[in-house]
A = this chain, B = another copy of it.
Amino acid sequence: MSRVTIVGAGVMGTATAWPLSDNGHEVRLVGTHLDGDIIKSCKISGLHPRLKRRLPPGVTPFYVEELETALDGADFILSGVNSMGVRWIGRTLAPYLKPGSRLIAVTKGLEADESGNLLILPEVLRSELPEGVRDQVSLAAIGGPCIAGELAARRPTCVFFGCRELETAQFLANVFRTSYYHIQTTQEIAALEVAVSLKNAYAMAVSLAAGWLQVAGGPDEAGAHMHNPAAALFAQAVFEMGCIMKALGLRGEYASGLPGVGDMFVTCRGGRSSMLGSLMGEGKTYQQGRAILKGETLEAALIVEQMAIALPKLEARSLLSPGDIPLMRALIEVVAHGQPLDVDFDLFFR
């Protein structure tokens, strides 16, 4: 039996409590300063209001002010914060991490560095830790197609646990693995995280077709939808994810595997990235789309913004050419440069 402290009580972080609880582990669920209402509800009735479920047995909720208590004696920590909270959690946990500490994150996102490389969020978190500890902590990440509410409903779910230290990945996989939570391990955490991050941006791209259907007035009198262009966008997305990953020296197969294609498939089924893509397909500017989706964290757009920074640098290093990744370039024009959407299918599949 392990003691696990989850920091961040959003849907994804919290959903990991189900397999942990089913395996008999002790779980402490700590809300951030944004999660006060969630923790209050959990403390009063056990109900997580966003997951719309009661927490399973063995899960104790804590306010952020109770973090120190919640971390006491924890075997490892799970970071459930979103990409905006990664530096915060690094700084917040720094005093409690020791050489040998283990942390696993569900957060997806990328940060372009000055040479155009894409830093994955576990490394951003690591950079907030003090020297001496920084390289002695084992950071892992979960990637793959997982809608939080389905994991909490114990639907069959397949994911990868990635960590440079394979024994950490395997230890964590053994803690979480259940009859419905199927976990493969990999040391290629960078490839895993880049694939699952890029897929957010590209899931937005696939949803452009839904916006085009709106503009066309919906299905026509004979029932024609916009599945053909959606499928072309989807396939081009997989192709471009592979291009970007190869340019970065990462294993391109993950683009067409569970982290890329699988996660994009599930992300296309709904959510904020899809809504933003659909609005862009309708001809809305990025600013208009943001205004309509007010208050939502648009992870897909954050990824496109980082790609806008990275792309000229990767081209300057001859790792990508002007004809490459036309779909991402179209997204960059909209999101980073305020231009209208212009997708040219004749540039695809070359």
Whether A150 contacts B224 by the Cβ 8 Å rule is yes
Query: Taking the nearest CB of chain B, how far is it from the CB of A172, in angstroms?
Result: 17
Q: Please give, as numbers and ranges, the residues of chain B lying within 8 Å of A349 by CB-CB distance.
A: 158, 160, 184, 257-258
Q: Please give, as numbers and ranges, the residues of chain B lying within 8 Å of A151 by CB-CB distance.
A: 228
Is A255 close to B, CB under 8 A? yes
Whether A235 contacts B52 by the Cβ 8 Å rule is no
Query: Taking the nearest CB of chain B, how far is it from the CB of A58, in angstroms?
Result: 20
Report the bound CA distance from A256 to B266 in whole Å: 17
Whether B266 contacts A261 by the Cβ 8 Å rule is no
Neighbour of A52 across the interface among B153, B223, B225, B238, CB < 8 A? B223
Whether B155 contacts A232 by the Cβ 8 Å rule is no
Query: Taking the nearest CB of chain B, how far is it from the CB of A33, in angstroms?
Result: 26
Map CB proximity to B onto A125-150 as digits: 1 under 8 Å, 0 otherwise: 00000000000000000001111011
Query: Taking the nearest CB of chain B, how far is it from the CB of A188, in angstroms?
Result: 13
How many A residues touch B, CB cutoff 8 Å? 54
Report the bound CA distance from A235 to B145 in whole Å: 9
Q: Please give, as numbers and ranges, the residues of chain B lying within 8 Å of A350 by CB-CB distance.
A: 184
Give the oligomeric copy count. 2
Interface residues of A in 222-272 (CB under 8 A from B): 222-232, 234-236, 238-239, 242, 255-258, 261-263, 265-266, 269
Q: Which of A220, A255, A350 has the most CB of B within 10 A?
A: A220
Is A296 close to B, CB under 8 A? no
Report the bound CA distance from A52 to B220 in whole Å: 11
Query: Taking the nearest CB of chain B, how far is it from the CB of A155, in angstroms?
Result: 5
Report the bound CA distance from A21 to B281 in whole Å: 28
Whether A224 contacts B155 by the Cβ 8 Å rule is yes
Report the bound CA distance from A255 to B235 in whole Å: 10
Whether B145 contacts A266 by the Cβ 8 Å rule is no
Given known A-B contacts A258-B349, A349-B257, A149 and B230 have beta carbons under 8 A apart: no
Query: Taking the nearest CB of chain B, how far is it from the CB of A333, in angstroms?
Result: 18
Query: Taking the nearest CB of chain B, how far is it from the CB of A342, in angstroms?
Result: 13
Q: Please give, as numbers and ranges, the residues of chain B lying within 8 Å of A226 by CB-CB distance.
A: 150, 155-156
A267 nearest CB neighbor, chain B only? B231
Query: Taking the nearest CB of chain B, how far is it from the CB of A327, in angstroms?
Result: 12
Query: Taking the nearest CB of chain B, how far is it from the CB of A244, in angstroms?
Result: 14
Given known A-B contacts A51-B222, A222-B53, A228 and B156 have beta carbons under 8 A apart: yes
Whether B153 contacts A266 by the Cβ 8 Å rule is no
Given A52-B223, A182-B346, list of 5 further CB < 8 A pairs?
A151-B228, A152-B224, A155-B228, A235-B265, A256-B256
Listed by A's residue number, 9 A-B pairs whose Cβ atoms lie within 8 Å are A145-B232, A147-B225, A147-B227, A155-B229, A158-B228, A182-B345, A234-B261, A256-B261, A258-B348
